[in-house]
Every structure is written in C-alpha cells, then in structure tokens.
C-alpha cells in the first residue's frame, strides 16, 4: 500500500484528533526516549575519558580508543587481546541464546494449548496463572530463586529428603539458579507472541493434516510452526535481547565466578566512572545483539513486517 493511501486510510479509520495523537505519541516515544538517548550514547562512546575541566576543549575529540580497548585491552598489553572482556561478552551471548531456546521449548506447548486445545475456561485460568506471579517485583523474584536454589533451599532439602544426593548441590555457583531465573523472568514475552500467532491459525488445517494421517510432530513441523514463525521470532527476539541485557538477575543469582557483560558495563559506568568506555561497551552489546537477531531472521526467512503484525 502506498504511504499516501495508507495515511488517508489511517486518518479515516481513527479520525483527525486520535490520528494526530497517535502520531505525536509514537514520534515522541521513538525520538525522545529511544533514538536521542542512543545517539548520545554513541557520542559518549567516541570520546576520551577527560576530566570536566578539559571536556569541550581541544583534547575532546572523537576517537575509537574505547572500541579498540574492548578488542585489544590497554595499549602495550603483551597479550594482544582483551581476553577477559571478550570471553565474558561471548559467554553472555551464548547464555542468552540458551535461555531463549529453553523458553521456546517450554512456552511453545503452552501457547499451542492456550490457542488451539484448551477450553475457554481453562485458557482463562491458565492465562491468569501465568500473569499473577509477575505482579511480584523482578528483584523479589530473583531473591526468591536464590532462596529456592540455595544450599539450604527448597530444592536441596527435597533432594536430601528423598535421598537422591548425599550433600547439597551448589546451584548458585553452577549458574543453574541464574539460568532458571532468567528463563522464568521472560516466560510471558515468549508465550503471548506465539499464542497470538497460533490463535489465528484455522483449526481446519490441523484437522485436515490429522485426517490425512500426519503424526503430531509433522503437524507442528509442517503446519503450525511455519504459520507461527513470526510470533516465534518476536518472542525469541525479546527474550534474547532482554536476557543479554539483564543486570539484576546476574547480580543476585550469579555465582562468584560468573560475570555478565552488563555487569562490566555497570562497573565501568558507576565504579570506574569511565562513561565513554561504558558507553562503547553498551553500544557494542546493542549492535551485536541486533545484528544477530537480523541474521537469524534472514536465515529463517522472516521479514520485519511479519514480526510486527
């Protein structure tokens, strides 16, 4: 549809006052709360870490030193590469992918049951059961997971009681609590996009495939999943981006030897008070995560417009 025709249809459907309000609200949201802060962050990342007296002076010029530091560490480092930050960055992305796949494996059956199999009453009760726990603050949920997975927590107590283990398992040090907490934190962001996609699928297609003798796994592989691909992509994108950028859960649930890349960013900003380097690290995380998402969308042949439906 041409932009002019789409604009005319949008105004006719909503009326001038509501259409103008929507355009202004969305423009304010995108420009003031998203684009401008990111541009400021990029500008920060291209600056030297100068004292306030020198900021704006002849030494305050753009530089790629903060990005070089991420790759190669401080100048003159004999190692040649910034192995610590690069390893933490790679581990964060791999962990975010794991959390995304784990959430997808859990949430796809739930979304399918809600959309196609459950009665209206059962679907409402299950939806309420999914939503109510998220009335609790994210920080409190993270501390609850730390208590549950602690050496004296519910899981270890149960395992010791039934005799499956002889001594408590340190789930915190093994990062089990961290992955479980992150996976639980973003369940709704995975369930409802997939549910919205599967709900619009005509049940007759599923019945036709079943009548033709297709097993259940082939019905999902050839009928349901291709149709729900935009919803799956939307859910995976949100979970991956939020898991890679999480801070509270890694701080609370991470073991003593684990480190999330966002923790490095936080420490660079507020402990080292090096805002240009912290901004560079934040920009790197944003750009790499965005490129990974776009690459996966291209591999699975999902267009951006389909995700936004």
- Residues 168, 26, single domain; the answer is no
- Residues 229, 292, single domain; the answer is yes
Domain that holds residue 219: 77-307
- Residues 251, 140, single domain; the answer is yes
Residue 156 lies in a domain: yes
Distance CA 272, CA 267 (A): 6
CB 98 within 8 Å of CB 243: no
Number of domains composing the chain? 2
Distances (CA, A) of 198 to 42, 117, 300: 39, 11, 18
Half-sphere exposure of 258 (CA within 13 A, CB side): 22
Distance CA 10, CA 141 (A): 42
Residue 297 lies in a domain: yes
Rg, the chain, Cα only: 24
Query: What pLDDT does residue 16 have?
Result: 79
- Residues 89, 203, single domain; the answer is yes
Residue 63 lies in a domain: no
Residue 57 lies in a domain: no
Residue 70 lies in a domain: no
Residue 83 CA from chain centroid, whole number: 25
> Phi and psi dihedrals of 35, rounded to 5?
-70, -55
Please write the tens of the pLDDT for every residue from 117-174.
888 888 889 889 989 988 888 889 999 999 999 888 889 999 999 988 888 888 988 8
Please write the tens of the pLDDT for every residue from 64-91.
999 999 998 887 766 678 888 999 999 9
- Residues 265, 126, single domain; the answer is yes
Residue 274 CA from chain centroid, whole number: 26
Query: For residue 95, what is the domain's CATH number?
Result: 1.10.3720.10
CB 89 within 8 Å of CB 221: no
**Per-residue pLDDT for 297 more than 90?**
no
Residue 208 lies in a domain: yes
- Residues 115, 236, single domain; the answer is yes
- Residues 123, 168, single domain; the answer is yes
Residue 61 lies in a domain: no
Does the predicted TM-score (pTM) go above 0.85?
Answer: yes
- Residues 136, 180, single domain; the answer is yes
Residue 69 lies in a domain: no
Can you read off the two tokens belonging to residue 2?
């041409």
Question: Which DSSP helix (H) or strand (E) runs through 42?
Answer: helix 36-45
Q: Of 281, 303, 164, 168, which is closest to residue 229 (Cα–Cα)?
A: 303
- Residues 19, 159, single domain; the answer is no
Residue 62 CA from chain centroid, whole number: 31
């Amino acid at each position: 549809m041409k932009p002019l025709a789409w604009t005319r249809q949008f105004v006719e459907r909503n009326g001038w006052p509501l259409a103008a309000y929507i355009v202004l609200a969305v423009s304010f949201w995108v420009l003031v709360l998203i684009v401008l802060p990111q541009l400021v962050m990029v500008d920060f990342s291209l600056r030297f870490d100068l004292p306030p007296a020198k900021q704006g002076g002849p030494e305050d010029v753009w530089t790629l030193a903060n990005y070089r530091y991420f790759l190669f560490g401080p100048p003159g480092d004999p190692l040649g590469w910034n192995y610590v930050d690069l390893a933490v960055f790679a581990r964060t992305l791999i962990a975010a992918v794991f959390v995304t796949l784990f959430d997808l494996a859990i949430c796809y059956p739930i979304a399918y049951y809600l959309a196609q199999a459950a009665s209206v009453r059962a679907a409402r009760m299950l939806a309420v059961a999914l939503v109510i726990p998220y009335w609790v603050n994210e920080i409190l949920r993270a501390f609850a997971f730390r208590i549950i997975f602690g050496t004296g927590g519910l899981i270890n107590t149960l395992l010791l009681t039934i005799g499956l283990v002889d001594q408590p398992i340190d789930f915190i040090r093994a990062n089990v609590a961290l992955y479980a907490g992150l996976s639980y934190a973003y369940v709704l962001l995975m369930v409802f996009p997939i549910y919205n996609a599967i709900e619009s699928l005509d049940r007759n297609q599923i019945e036709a495939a079943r009548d033709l003798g297709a097993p259940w796994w082939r019905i999902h592989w050839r009928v349901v999943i291709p149709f729900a691909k935009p919803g799956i992509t939307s859910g995976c994108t949100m979970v991956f981006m939020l898991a890679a950028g999480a801070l509270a859960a890694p701080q609370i649930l991470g073991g003593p030897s684990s480190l999330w890349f966002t923790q490095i960013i936080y420490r660079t900003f507020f402990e080292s008070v090096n805002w240009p380097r912290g901004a560079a690290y934040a920009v790197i995380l944003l750009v790499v995560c965005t490129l990974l998402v776009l690459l996966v969308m291209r591999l699975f042949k999902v267009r951006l417009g389909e995700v936004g439906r």
